[in-house]
Amino acid sequence: TGLRTALLGAGLCLAAPSVFAADPVLNFDFNEGSGPPTSDSVKKLVGTLGAVGTQVLSVSDTPSGAANDKAISINMDNPTSQGFLAVNDSSGPILNLSSNAFTMEAWIKLDPTDARQYEGIGAYGGSYKMGMANQQLEFTLYGIVDITSGFFDPLDNAWHHVAAVWEPGIG
């Protein structure tokens, strides 16, 4: 059918340090399997998957391979779309962590045939983003610094756990 999967994602977690290590601020595991709306298991924030012209599918290809486990496939059939998970926390902002230490992590699987230069994994508006730049994991504080990780996705059609840790004043 010519379908092209740029990114498969199995969860997105954002955690901030506390007395008890890192407490999740949000955790989307994408296991609902019911379509574009999804909710996180911590604050029950509702997220919408996709963008105009983006097809999002719930898929059974997951890191665990367990029965009934789900992941999402975004940016199918459109090599220029920039699909994403949009969460609106404007009524009670909890995700603006640019002045606090935090960790963002996800499981990803990139399509080795995709030629996309940039692929977002998770972002908070114009504040911060974790994504791929030319198949290399990159963390960005928009307009301040882009930090490349040195991790290049081997494009081996396998799942990889990726994370970005930010600590103000340290990086």
- Residue 5: pLDDT band with limits 50, 70, 90: very low
Residue 145 has pLDDT above 70, yes or no: yes
pTM of the model: 0.77
What average pLDDT does the segment 32-38 reach? 61
What per-residue confidence (pLDDT) applies to 1? 26
The rounded percent of the chain whose pLDDT value lies above 90 is 3
pLDDT digits (tens, 9 = 90+) for 91-136: 777 766 666 788 888 888 887 777 777 777 877 777 788 888 888 9
What's the rounded Cα separation, in Å, for the pair 138 and 7? 15
- DSSP string covering 39-106, please? E-SSS--EEEE--TT---EEES--SS--TT--EEEESTT-TT----EEE--TTS-----TTS-EEEEE
Neighbours of 72 (CB within 10 A): 23
